[in-house]
Structures are given as structure tokens and as C-alpha cells.
Structure 1
Amino acid sequence: MSVSTAPTAKGLWRRGRAAVAVALLVVATAVFGALLAGGGEQGRYLDPDDASLRGSKALAQLLRDRGVRVDRVDSVETAESLAREGERLLLVGAPWNGDYSEAERLANISGDFVIVGDQPYLDVLAPSVDHDGQARLRSREPGCRLPAARAAGNAYLGGRTFEADGESCYAGSLVTAGTVTVLGSGEFMTNLRLAEDGNAALALNLLGSRKAVTWLVPPPVGAGELPGPGGRSIQELMPDNVPWAVLMAVVAVAVVALWQGRRLGPVVAERLPVVVRAAETVEGRGRLYRARRARTQAAEALRGGALDRLTPRLGLGAQPRADEVVAALAARTGLEAGHLGTALYGAPPADDAGLVALAGYLDEIERQVREH
């Protein structure tokens, strides 16, 4: 006979979860659209005008408070024109997305350089600095004689490591080569990390050595846009009917979810048409072992089952060692320890007769344990 279950809270939830899923889909679509529209809110890495955790507005303000002029530029032309004004320091922080010729022009600007090492043309900007490896970002001791680092003390550095002819500080994540200083990471200069340890002191010592800083940032790209052919964004190249197609796809998914999520009635529990006895299952598995001549697997199954049944009776732990099991069995049954070890942990039988003998001996062991 079939038994019909009455509607319950669990059943109502199962029937209504399709509508909940559709509501969540609509909300997720709205959130995704909002993220696309305002993707720039996550912050611009090492930007002196960005007040987010990834930006560096706090450091720029500290430099200005010390009388250092900070000029934020996003082009090589502007950096070259500012270099003509006099003594300056050029900071290349976020990865520069210009081409090789622009990197060469940056390298030819006179003055001191501070370069965050994750740059595509580091070999052009700092030809005497070689990439050496990677180090985990954490608070590190200077470990060098560089005055800027020794005065700052511990700082949050790591990332890429380098080799250079000058000073090597913070496990190689800050190196100097003439007028060029290369950093493995600029995280210590972000608003998030600036107040930790000696991060602010190190940043001010490195960037405040000149009267002015030319702070180079990548050229702006529209929020949620990627540059396309001819300088146009992907959104500008996209056909006008694409947003409508996306909206239609969302509606279609919602309709299909409602259609497939409907239940015609309560769940019906039915009896199994066939009951298979455990003995038949064991016999069938044994025949499969025999057909494939899988004596090794059969022996492992026999031994594993015997150990699972014997271990609790012997009062041993969950994963006893082989010598502990053999010793406990020998003391309990009086059987020879060598025979017990061979039966439970020895090599697999060489033929079917040996497998049958092993099964019989394991049964004898279990009988002896039960009787004693």
C-alpha cells in the first residue's frame, strides 16, 4: 500500500522555495547591476586622491603637512614636464599599463625613483635590479644599514624580492640601486596599513627626501569598462539590444524556475518492489571477486571485517597497531602469535584454496574470542 504524507512546514517550504529562489535571483541581478555601475567604489590602489582602504590619500596628506608637494599625474608627458621644474622624486606605485616606449621615457626622467616592483617593465625602469623570488607579506625588521629603513623599524613588507648592488632591506623586499628604490609591495603605503608599525615613518622617509613628489597613477578607465579598439569601451561597442536580451533571459529563467518548482501534490512514500537479502548481496560480491580472481581485494575485505569485529571485543582503541592486536589475540585465545599476524596482516593468498583457508582461520579466531 502507498502512504500519503500530510502537508507539513517542511513540505510547504519545499513547495515555496522556487519562489524564494526567483526572488533571490532578482535581488542578485540588481546587486550585480549596481556593482557594474559603481565598480570604482572598491578603491584605486596607491592613488593619492583615494580615501578607500586601498588608496593612499592619508600618506599624501602627511607629505603635504611636511611641506612636500605631491602632484598626481596619469601620463608620461605630465611627468616629463614636471621633472623640468627641479628637484623631484618620481613614484611609480600601481602597475603602469603603458607600453614599452613610455617605460623608456619614464626611465630617462632625471631624479630619484621609488618603484613598486610589480611593474610590467621593471627591467626598463630599474635595469640593475633583478627579481629574486617571493616573500609572504608581514611585519618585518629592516635588517640593513639604510637610514630610512633603520629609522622606521619594523614595516609591513614582502611580496616580490630583489637583488641589487645597493642596500637590501626587509628580506629583499626593499632594495636600492643608485637613485632607484624598488619595493616588493606598496601595501604599507595604503590607508589600511599606514598606521601599523613603522609603515608611515618608512613611507615618509622614502618619499619625503625631496621637495616634490610626482605620483604616477595609471590612466583612468571608466567604471565597469574595458578599453576596446580605437580607445572606445566595451559598453560603447556593445549593440543597443544587448541589455534587452539580458532582461529577457532573466525573465525566462524566472518563468522556468516557477514552472519546474511547482509540486502537484504531497510526497508519496511507496514500499520497495523487491527486497534483497543480505546473504544474497554477500554471495554476489564473492562471485564478482572470484570471476575477476581478485584474491587480494577479497582477503583485504575478510581481514578488515574481522578486525572491525575483533577490536571492540579486545578493548583496544580505534586504530590499534598490528603488534597490539596480535598480542591481545594471543593472550585471549592462546593461538600462536606468528599465525595470528600472518592471518591478519600477511601476504594475500596465492590461490582460492588459500583464500578459503584464510576465511576459515579468521572465523576460528572470532569464535575463540567470543568463547574466551
Structure 2
Amino acid sequence: MTLAAPAREAAPPGPATSASTSPTARSMWRGSRGMVLLGVLVVLVSAGAALLAGTSAEGRRLDPADTSLTGGRALAQILRGHGVRVERVSTVDDVVRLDGPGSRVLVSDTSFLTDDEISRLSRTRAHRLIVGTVDGLSRLAPGVTPSGDATTRSREPRCAFPSAVRAGSAHLGGTLFTVPRGSIGCYAAEDGASLVHSPGSRTVTVVGDDSFMTNMRLAEDGNAALAMNLAGAQPVLIWLVAPDQPRAVPGSGEASAADLIPPGVPWAVVQLGVALAVVAFWRGRRLGPVVVERLPVVVRAAETVEGRGRLYRARRARDRASATLRAACAARLVPRLGLSGEATPIEIVAATALRTGQDAVWVRSVMYGPTPTGDAGLIALAGHLDTLERQVREQ
């Protein structure tokens, strides 16, 4: 059995020769130089964003929680590793709460304290370690007064203070102080000492420069040893730092849209935009001119239909053959009947019967009936379907 169906003939053979050529180094460079330049631009933008993000973050000087070059996180970690309890506080109330003879308070900034708070701080029982230039020094370290300035550099202790002698040379200088009677002056310069230690039941140690305790300088000379000896002499170190800057919170009426956006988001948006432009350029351009090649074999449409019919006949696939014929007939009838592509079989049968005048039961049996049991039934089915199509076209 051979099934015949209308089909269009294949297009005539294309040109006999091919226009494709092997790419050369010059053509490859011409085709990819735009991508290379865009890739370099992406790298430069990413590097610039990383550098700006790294330099825009301001560290909190000598803060035990800060990891910048001027922070004090490294010293705090070393102290904790040696069993010292480091308490980071920002108010005098917290200092008073932790106050005791077994604690030491580290003060490097008093600009955020009031006169009353400085007075309260001076009445605590904890040992004191004052580094850098602070306000209220006369109340926190009685008798120690500034006497000049000196260049910060590596200096020898040249004193009998055990903590300084064990540490050796250190990066000190800055403000120089007079040495009161009964106190010890170390790391001296022309106008005074960079470190003054006043012994007693409550020791007071004043250092004119705090850079030796920062993350950047801690590994130089004997800075780490001196910082450990001064700050870790007691079991508890109360590290007083300025309070964090208050930030506007959502719902407070003080936060703008820019305040709620993290600082890295704008740079991330820029990088995503550049990446999107690169991808759009890459996917939007062709890799080269269109190549037209001759097809190796040209098969006529009629031969394809005939070959498929022979396969159905060889496998006795009357179910597939009848389903294909009926589906093709319904697909051709639907637009001629004015129906939509989602029309149901009931609608197709009703419209076909109305258009052709045939009985609806007969139309249903032809278009959606059982599978033919033999080749003769399949041929008859094809004839009936052809009759329905012809009647629909003629009406």
C-alpha cells in the first residue's frame, strides 16, 4: 500500500561551490579584538571598584574590633590568646561596672567624654594605661604634663621599668612628658620621656604615641612585647573606645533611600551592567559571513511520503497511518470551517456536517472512528476523508 499526500517539491540545488574559508590569525584578531577590549574594560572597572571600596572604608583608630592598619584587632587577639579578658566599652558606666583592682583601663581618646565623665573615670580603682594625646590628662595622670614633641621612631628604653626593659626598642615618640618624683621615664628624648610609669596600688602609665599598638606597627621592633607588657599586666583589660556613629534606621524618619543601600551595591550594579553589555555584544554579533554550501543529497517530497507509507505498510501500522490521515484532514478543515485552533472534535464534526450536509454520525465515524482492520478499510478511509475535504472546499 502506498499513501499519497500533497507535498511541495524540494528547493532546487544550491550553488556547486562553497564560500567558506579557513580563518587566519589576522581575521581572528579582527573578529575578537572588540571582545578583548571589553574584557580589559571589565577587569579595569572591577579592579577600580575593589580599590575604591578598600580605600573608602575608614578604620577606627586603636579599636580592638577594627582590622584596618590603624585598628587594634591584632593586639586584642594576642591578649586573648594569653588569657587576658578584653572588654570593649564605649561609656564610663561600663568602665565603672568592670572596675576593680584586678583590671586595667586603656584610654586612647577622651574627646567623646564630658568633664563629669572624665572625673568619674579618674576616680576608678583600675590601673590606667593612657596612650596618645588625650584631654583631661591632669586628672587621669596627676603630675604628668606634656613637655614637647619628638619624632616617632625606633627608640631604646634606657630606664629601669621592667615592662620596657623586657620589650627593648620600640616605635615611640610623639608627645613627651615630664617625669614626676617617684615615677619612671622611658624612651626619652631631649625634652622629656615618651613613656612615664607611676607605680603604686593603682599604677598609671602614660605613652605619648599610640602607633606602636596598631595593626600596622605591632610586628616592628619590640612593639608587640611592649604592648603586651603594658596592656596585659592585669587579668581584665577595659578598652575604652569612642561609641559607634549612630545610623539611621528604617521607620525612624531619618533614613533616606541612599542610606538604606549598602556601599558596595552601586559598584556591583556597574559591574553587572558592563557584564550585560559584553554578553549582549557577544551574543548579538555573528561569528562570520553566512556560508552557502551544496547539499550532498536532494530528496523529493513525494519520495519521502512514499517511503513513509511503505514503512507503515511493512509494520502493518494501520493505527498510525489512520491517525495521521485523520489529523491532517482535521488540521486542513479547521481554518476552512472558520474554527479556532483549539476547537474540539464535537465542534469540528458539527461544523463539517453542517457545511457538507452529511450525517453527523457518519462524519464522526470517518474523522474519529475506529482503526481500519485491513488495507481496504484504510484506502476507503482515505477516500472518505478526501470526499469530506472536497465537499467543504466546494461549499
What's the TM-score, normalizing by structure 2?
0.46
Give the number of the structure whose residues are more often helix, by fraction: 1
Larger Rg: 2
